[in-house]
Chain A
Amino acid sequence: MTQLQRPSMVFAPMSTAELRALLGPAAEQADEILATLRTNRSRLPVAFPGLPRRFGKAVAGGGQRLFGEATVDLDAFRTCDLVAAYLVTSLDATEEEVLDVFAHGDIEERAMLFRCLNFMPLSSTTSRLFGEALRTNIVLHLEAAMCDSDLLARTLKSGTIDADTGNRLLLKFAFIGMDLTRALNIESHANATLSTMLQDLATEREAAGRSVWKHTYRMLGHAVCPGALGRLIGGLEHGDDGVRHAAADGLLAMRNNDSKLQPLLAQFAQERLPREPRETVRELLQQLATN
């Protein structure tokens, strides 16, 4: 797959009115804090740490929603995340202000800022904070930066971060073992270099007798690298249901990109089908087995 390389651009942020509407009963209290900050915005670093305890960490809820260019899964966003985003966007916080809060923030402040990125224009702030995500292994932060939205996919598509940074972020994703389906639309970033990196990690893990990130199979199907076909076909015989599902999924993607593979893949799918115990995997094999 060819990696899209576009010049850096800034997408329009969502309107703060939309964000405020998500806050529900918390909106009035958020407005009070906002009014204080408008009077003295240097208080932002003092206001920020208290947001989780003042507004709670309960999930906001509401499923996947489109805000401007951004798709976010509100079932993973907490009220404090949304209040933080409301404050940062309403104040039109500068890169310097955001990075200051991040640099001196605690675990929760940093998580909220990663979530805020979804509602801010893609910019060098986005790029700088993804750079910070690369430096951490804290699952809360990696999830906040890369999961439950299409932020990573949009950031890559816009060229706000380069493909190499994207590959390293996704390798970390695999290293931590996070669920790829939570990074919305990220399959669009599949590329042969990333597949090679994932393949190498998988081989290293296997040599150490450790489990392999199952989404490796999925990503390898979207962008082929040496050894990908063998791994995916072998994946159909794996003892783990999730791996077989990902392998079948990957093989379907591989076939869609290269129709010449159809006869070969159909042969393996037909051979596996009678022995496959899982209905969801059988459905994929059925598609592979037919033209």
Chain B
Amino acid sequence: MLIFEPHIHMFSRVTDDYEQLSLAGVRALLEPAFWLGQNRTSVGTFIDYYETLIGWERHRAQQFGIHHFCTMGLNPREANDNSINRDVLAILPRYCEKDSCIGVGEIGLDDQTKTEEIMMSEQLELARNHDLPVLVHTPHRDKMKGFQRCIAIVKEANFPMERVLLDHGNEETIKITRDLGCWSGFSIYPNTKMDPARMVSIVLEYGIERFVINSAADWGVSDPMMVPRTCVKLEQAGVPREKVEQLVWNNPIDFFAQSGRINAEMLAQPASANLRETFDGNSVLRGQDPDKM
């Protein structure tokens, strides 16, 4: 089964994870720009980070046959930092035009401050200017209120709902998003929040239309294999294979194809993997013989 993992922070993961993902059927993944675990002190670190997303991480993924895409944005947590947020917004247009950038994100709310709301609104405008869909991070605390506020901001901006993916949803949030026309993302975690069993229940009750599932794996306790694991659980629960594949392959492609920068055809083959190539002189092989890999 082919899998498009639509939210994973590979910047924080080891190369072995790429190999495991590839072996589990992940042919494409999306890495949203996000918070690195501690605050950054200047816009320069954002520049380097964004360039890693379009450069080294793409190269690393390709070595394992995985197509790597990203979304660019100022994450809500750092949106609150007035010493850098304006500078970051100023550099984003050039990164939103990169070929592998297929959306704006993660934007949204975290602490649900006024500044976060302003930055989210401005980045909806950024997405409109670059004709990109948006990936919206919703708060892990006071989630219902955060969801409602995110939806209100999207509506106030008159941004098309079908181009919005509201992420980190759960059983409660479906009730308010199901009829909006937006897409819903569910992040499956190993021990906390949404888990595979709960996701199975959601699919059995609500189906798979405009749903995507992801691992949101990052630098914390998380599991990049959560999408493949959930696929197994779904099939064991009797969900037909074609429906599972619709959920984990076609749906994310359909959503991000709204960028006009990807389609199923270009993902028909694995990413080219020339193990002899290096990126900025750097290789994932660490001296190993490419012929023996």
- Interface of A toward B, CB cutoff 8 Å: 45-50, 52-53, 104, 106-108, 135-139, 176
Q: Is the interface of B mostly helix, strand, loop or mixed?
A: loop
Partner of A136, one of B97, B99, B278: B278
In the A-B complex, the 5 residue pairs with the closest CB atoms: A137-B278, A49-B97, A45-B94, A106-B54, A49-B98
Q: Please give, as numbers and ranges, the residues of chain A lying within 8 Å of B99 by CB-CB distance.
A: 49-50, 52-53, 106, 108
Q: Please give, as numbers and ranges, the residues of chain A lying within 8 Å of B100 by CB-CB distance.
A: 106
A137 in contact with B281 given A52-B99, A104-B47, A106-B99 (CB within 8 Å): yes
Q: In the complex, how many angstroms separate the beta carbon of B236 from the nearest chain A beta carbon? A: 41
Partner of A138, one of B51, B54, B260, B277: B277
Query: Quick check: B47 and A139 within 8 Å, CB to CB?
Result: no
CA distance A50 to B55 in the complex (A): 16
Q: List 30 A-B contacts (CB under 8 A).
A: A46-B93, A46-B94, A46-B97, A47-B97, A48-B97, A49-B94, A49-B97, A49-B98, A50-B97, A53-B260, A53-B261, A104-B47, A104-B51, A104-B94, A106-B54, A106-B55, A106-B58, A106-B98, A106-B100, A107-B58, A108-B99, A135-B281, A136-B279, A137-B276, A137-B277, A137-B278, A138-B278, A139-B274, A139-B277, A176-B276
Query: What does the 1/0 interface line of B252-293 toward A look like (CB < 8 Å)?
Result: 000000001100000000000010111111000000000000
Q: In the complex, how many angstroms separate the beta carbon of A183 from the nearest chain B beta carbon? A: 19
Q: Please give, as numbers and ranges, the residues of chain A lying within 8 Å of B58 by CB-CB distance.
A: 106-107
Q: Please give, as numbers and ranges, the residues of chain B lying within 8 Å of A52 by CB-CB distance.
A: 99
CA distance A107 to B279 in the complex (A): 10
Residue of A nearest to B282 (CB): A137
**Extra pairs beyond A47-B97, A136-B281 (17, CB < 8 Å):** A45-B94, A46-B94, A49-B94, A49-B97, A104-B51, A104-B94, A106-B54, A106-B58, A107-B58, A135-B280, A136-B278, A136-B279, A136-B280, A137-B277, A138-B277, A139-B277, A176-B276
CA distance A46 to B55 in the complex (A): 17
Question: Number of B residues contacting the other chain (C-beta, 8 Å)?
Answer: 20
CA distance A136 to B56 in the complex (A): 13
Q: Please give, as numbers and ranges, the residues of chain B lying within 8 Å of A104 by CB-CB distance.
A: 47, 51, 94
Q: Please give, as numbers and ranges, the residues of chain A lying within 8 Å of B98 by CB-CB distance.
A: 49, 106
CA distance A233 to B246 in the complex (A): 62
Q: Please give, as numbers and ranges, the residues of chain B lying within 8 Å of A107 by CB-CB distance.
A: 55, 58
CA distance A46 to B276 in the complex (A): 31
Residue of B nearest to A210 (CB): B291
Q: In the complex, how many angstroms separate the beta carbon of B251 from the nearest chain A beta carbon? A: 23
Q: Please give, as numbers and ranges, the residues of chain B lying within 8 Å of A48 by CB-CB distance.
A: 97
Q: Please give, as numbers and ranges, the residues of chain B lying within 8 Å of A46 by CB-CB distance.
A: 93-94, 97
Q: In the complex, how many angstroms separate the beta carbon of B118 from the nearest chain A beta carbon? A: 23
CA distance A114 to B98 in the complex (A): 18
CA distance A138 to B277 in the complex (A): 5
Q: In the complex, how many angstroms separate the beta carbon of B8 from the nearest chain A beta carbon? A: 20
Residue of A nearest to B92 (CB): A46
Q: Please give, as numbers and ranges, the residues of chain B lying within 8 Å of A135 by CB-CB distance.
A: 280-281
CA distance A176 to B97 in the complex (A): 31
Q: Please give, as numbers and ranges, the residues of chain A lying within 8 Å of B278 by CB-CB distance.
A: 136-138
Residue of A nearest to B97 (CB): A49
Q: In the complex, how many angstroms separate the beta carbon of A275 from the nearest chain B beta carbon? A: 32
CA distance A158 to B100 in the complex (A): 38
Q: In the complex, how many angstroms separate the beta carbon of B198 from the nearest chain A beta carbon? A: 38
Q: In the complex, how many angstroms separate the beta carbon of A162 from the nearest chain B beta carbon? A: 21
Q: Please give, as numbers and ranges, the residues of chain A lying within 8 Å of B281 by CB-CB distance.
A: 135-137
CA distance A135 to B93 in the complex (A): 28
Query: What does the 1/0 interface line of B85-123 toward A look like (CB < 8 Å)?
Result: 000000001100111100000000000000000000000
Residue of A nearest to B48 (CB): A104
CA distance A108 to B94 in the complex (A): 14
CA distance A49 to B97 in the complex (A): 6
CA distance A107 to B58 in the complex (A): 10
CA distance A136 to B279 in the complex (A): 7
CA distance A47 to B94 in the complex (A): 8
Q: Please give, as numbers and ranges, the residues of chain A lying within 8 Å of B279 by CB-CB distance.
A: 136, 138
CA distance A49 to B281 in the complex (A): 23
Q: Please give, as numbers and ranges, the residues of chain B lying within 8 Å of A45 by CB-CB distance.
A: 94
Q: Please give, as numbers and ranges, the residues of chain A lying within 8 Å of B93 by CB-CB distance.
A: 46
CA distance A139 to B274 in the complex (A): 9
Q: In the complex, how many angstroms separate the beta carbon of B46 from the nearest chain A beta carbon? A: 12
Q: In the complex, how many angstroms separate the beta carbon of A140 from the nearest chain B beta carbon? A: 9
Q: Please give, as numbers and ranges, the residues of chain A lying within 8 Å of B277 by CB-CB distance.
A: 137-139
CA distance A46 to B279 in the complex (A): 23
Q: In the complex, how many angstroms separate the beta carbon of A19 from the nearest chain B beta carbon? A: 22
Greatest chain B CB density within 10 A among A48, A107, A108, A136 is at: A107
CA distance A287 to B274 in the complex (A): 40
Query: What does the 1/0 interface line of B199-228 toward A look like (CB < 8 Å)?
Result: 000000000000000000000000000000
Q: In the complex, how many angstroms separate the beta carbon of B190 from the nearest chain A beta carbon? A: 33
Greatest chain A CB density within 10 A among B94, B260, B280, B281 is at: B94
CA distance A52 to B97 in the complex (A): 11
Within 8 A of A (CB), among B149-168: none
CA distance A139 to B98 in the complex (A): 20
Q: Please give, as numbers and ranges, the residues of chain A lying within 8 Å of B274 by CB-CB distance.
A: 139
Q: Please give, as numbers and ranges, the residues of chain A lying within 8 Å of B97 by CB-CB distance.
A: 46-50
Q: In the complex, how many angstroms separate the beta carbon of B22 from the nearest chain A beta carbon? A: 20
Q: In the complex, how many angstroms separate the beta carbon of B132 from the nearest chain A beta carbon? A: 12
